[in-house]
């Protein structure tokens, strides 16, 4: 991760704020209310304390609960291929009333049991890697790499059972089931469903302890929605920082063709802010806002984003809400609230034709106008499912025409077009010579964009077996086993 940081790192923010932001994105991707993961984390911590666990386990349980959906964006493409609507599909699976894992039960009845292993492997590997990049301890990393293990050994990815499974995994799973089932079916039925899953998904003792305290804890959540008190992790992570770029990479993983987009927008936006003479604080704000401007994208299923033609009105309404959800994030991510507010202007236009506010020039902050133009320019230069990439000249001409029509700030567009070519193509990175060969980087670049081995072979004029050999080598060197994990690590290291 150090390789992706410049000498003046504008992306360093509080660790807990990044964790909360990742939890927010995860809840959107799972089709859950945006306070779901914080509530689950609080109850997981209470369960740890009620079970006699020490402070370390209590902290681990809360961290695991907050980050347990952090791998959702990583397997969204595969999930969409299997189920269509990845967001509604996940939501429906979590709501299934069964004595076993909702996903496992569905897989068993639909004949796609191998999908559970494949999807869980992607999710867990990326979740563990995220925890590592955030600087969390090895126990928390291990737990996040085994989120879908079951007490009876029927889970994934490694089929662990009993005490082989970290207690924090059981605690997060129990608290999650309680929050979802209570919301959907009421307390009595929620407790019955959890009781049916005891000794299957999680230990009977822990399940019984949760059921005993469920009514009390749920009532406490209503009284104290800020989730303070015992087992709050605020103090544990106080003073610790991490790079906001990890959140940008998590956001972009949802759509392979968005790989590196948020970071490219951030570089462009900051360069434009400098050219326009904005002070250091504004430069930092627009840079950070650009890194997180895609948070709300997780709420929209991939099948909509991948639509090659014009969207239906119902689909377009979901897209229009993307910046709304980004704005909502400002309410629960602490020091990033100001950046989230700026980020929510990413699709507004000075003539009022943007969304979600349909704001006009006078009410759009300068940072918002910069972000909107930077995001558009970065997108035009990369292929999308509905159009080919434009070259620099064509993209610049289109941006100037749009500015003349009142859809972008003309001064901002002019500043953006003065950014050197290198600044528009990719952020400045510390080179990692020797880690991957030139051909391995070519292959990695294409698979990170969602290309199959056969498609990569055609694009690079090599055989599919050669592509497979290069992929295996890349995975080995990056210490990963899935495309999503390789993409995440490669973007962290500045290889993409």
Three-class SS string for 292-347? HCCHHHHHCCHHHHCCCCCCCHHHHHHHHCHHHHHHHHCCCCHHHHHHHHHHCCCC
* CB 257 within 8 Å of CB 339: no
Name the 3-class secondary structure at 480: coil
Cα–Cα dist 336/485, whole Å? 26
pLDDT of 426-483, one tens digit each? 444 444 557 899 999 999 999 998 899 999 999 999 999 999 999 999 999 999 999 9
Q: What's the pLDDT band for 302 if we cut at 50, 70, 90? A: very high
Q: What's the pLDDT band for 226 if we cut at 50, 70, 90? A: low
**DSSP structural state of residue 418:** T
* Statement: residue 182 has pLDDT above 70: yes
* Statement: residue 132 has pLDDT above 60: yes
pLDDT of 63-112, one tens digit each? 999 999 999 999 999 999 888 999 999 999 999 887 765 555 444 444 45
pLDDT at 101: 59
pLDDT at 411: 97
Distance set, CA 185 to CA 177, 190, 207, 270 (Å): 11, 6, 18, 48
pLDDT of 21-42, one tens digit each? 999 999 999 999 999 999 999 9
pLDDT at 236: 75
Buried b (16+ CB within 10 A) or exposed e, 133-166: bbebeebbbbbbbbbbbbbeebbbbbebeeeebb
Question: Nearest Cα to 189, choosing from 214, 160, 223, 224?
Answer: 214
Query: Prior bond to 132 cis, omega within 30?
Result: no
pLDDT of 348-368, one tens digit each? 999 999 999 999 999 999 999
Quote the tokens at residue 9: 């790192």
- Mean pLDDT check: name the lowest of 213-217, 345-349, 472-476, 490-494: 490-494
Task: Summarize the confidence of residues 275-296 as an average pLDDT.
Answer: 96
Task: Summarize the confidence of residues 43-54 as an average pLDDT.
Answer: 94
Give burial (CB, 10 Å; 0-12/13-18/19+) of 41: buried
pLDDT at 416: 96
Cα–Cα dist 110/430, whole Å? 48
- Domain borders along the chain are 36-223, 243-425, 438-493
- Mean pLDDT check: name the lowest of 146-155, 319-328, 412-421: 412-421
pLDDT of 314-341, one tens digit each? 999 999 999 999 999 877 788 899 999 9
pLDDT at 82: 87
Class of domain 243-425: mainly alpha
Residue with more model confidence, 426 or 222 = 222
pLDDT at 109: 45
Q: Is the dihedral of CA 130, 28, 243, 267 positive or negative?
A: positive
* CB 350 within 8 Å of CB 369: yes
CB atoms within 10 A of CB 477: 15
Quote the tokens at residue 485: 């994990």
* CB 300 within 8 Å of CB 318: yes
The residue to which tokens 């209310």 are assigned: 33
Per cent of the chain over pLDDT 70 is 91
pLDDT at 5: 40
* CB 70 within 8 Å of CB 201: no
* CB 78 within 8 Å of CB 118: yes
Cα–Cα dist 236/337, whole Å? 21
Task: Summarize the confidence of residues 112-129 as an average pLDDT.
Answer: 88
The residue to which tokens 């802010």 are assigned: 273
* CB 51 within 8 Å of CB 209: yes
Q: In whole numbers, what is the pLDDT of the chain averaged over residues?
A: 90
pLDDT at 111: 47
Class of domain 36-223: mainly alpha
Fold of the domain spanning 438-493: Arc Repressor Mutant, subunit A (1.10.10)
227 phi-psi bin (left φ>0, alpha ψ -120 to 50, beta other) = left
pLDDT at 222: 87
pLDDT at 232: 62
Identical fold between 36-223 and 243-425? yes
Cα–Cα dist 30/26, whole Å? 6
* Statement: residue 144 has pLDDT above 70: yes
* Statement: residue 114 has pLDDT above 80: no
C-alpha 26 chain-centroid distance: 6
């Amino acid at each position: 991760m150090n390789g992706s940081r410049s000498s003046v790192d504008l992306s360093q923010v509080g660790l807990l704020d990044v964790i909360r932001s990742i939890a927010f994105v995860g809840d959107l991707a799972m089709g859950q209310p945006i306070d779901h993961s914080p509530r689950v984390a609080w109850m997981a911590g209470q369960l740890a304390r009620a079970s006699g666990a020490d402070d370390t386990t209590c902290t681990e349980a809360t961290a695991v609960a907050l980050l347990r959906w952090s791998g959702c964006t990583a397997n969204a493409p595969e999930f969409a291929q299997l189920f269509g609507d990845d967001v509604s599909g996940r939501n429906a699976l979590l709501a299934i009333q069964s004595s076993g894992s909702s996903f496992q039960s569905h897989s068993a009845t639909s004949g796609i049991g191998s999908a559970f292993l494949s999807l869980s492997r992607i999710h867990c590997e990326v979740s563990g890697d995220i925890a590592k990049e955030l600087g969390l301890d090895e126990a928390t990393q291990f737990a996040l790499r085994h989120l879908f293990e079951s007490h009876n050994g029927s889970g994934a990815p490694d089929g662990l059972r009993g005490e082989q499974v970290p207690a924090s995994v059981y605690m997060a799973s129990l608290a999650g089931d309680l929050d979802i089932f209570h919301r959907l079916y009421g307390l009595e039925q929620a407790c019955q469903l959890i009781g049916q899953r005891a000794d299957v998904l999680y230990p009977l003792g822990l399940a019984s302890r949760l059921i005993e305290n469920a009514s009390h804890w749920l009532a406490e959540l209503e009284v104290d929605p800020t989730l303070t008190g015992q087992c709050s992790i605020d103090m544990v992570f106080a003073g610790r920082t991490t790079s906001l770029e990890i959140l940008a990479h998590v956001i972009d993983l949802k759509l392979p063709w968005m790989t590196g987009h948020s970071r490219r927008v951030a570089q462009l936006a900051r360069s434009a802010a400098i050219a326009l003479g904005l002070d250091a604080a504004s430069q930092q704000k627009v840079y950070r806002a650009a890194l997180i401007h895609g948070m709300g994208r997780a709420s929209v299923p991939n099948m909509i984003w991948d639509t090659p033609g014009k969207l239906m009105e119902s689909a377009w309404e979901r897209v229009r809400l993307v910046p709304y959800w980004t704005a909502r994030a400002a309410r629960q991510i602490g020091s990033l609230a100001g950046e989230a507010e700026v980020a929510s202007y990413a699709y507004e236009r000075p003539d009022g034709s943007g969304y979600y506010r349909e704001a006009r020039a006078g009410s759009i902050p300068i940072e918002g106008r910069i972000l909107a133009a930077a995001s558009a320019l970065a997108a035009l230069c990369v292929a999308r499912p509905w159009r080919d990439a434009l070259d620099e000249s064509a993209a610049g001409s289109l941006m100037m025409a749009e500015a003349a029509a009142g859809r972008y700030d003309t001064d901002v567009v002019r500043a953006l077009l003065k950014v050197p070519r290198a600044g528009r193509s990719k952020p400045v990175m510390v080179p990692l010579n020797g880690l991957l060969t030139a051909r391995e980087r070519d292959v990695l670049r294409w698979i990170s964009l969602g290309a199959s081995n056969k498609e990569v072979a055609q694009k690079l004029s090599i055989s599919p077996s050669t592509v497979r050999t290069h992929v295996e080598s890349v995975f080995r060197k990056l210490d990963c086993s899935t495309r999503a994990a390789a993409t995440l690590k490669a973007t962290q290291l500045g290889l993409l």
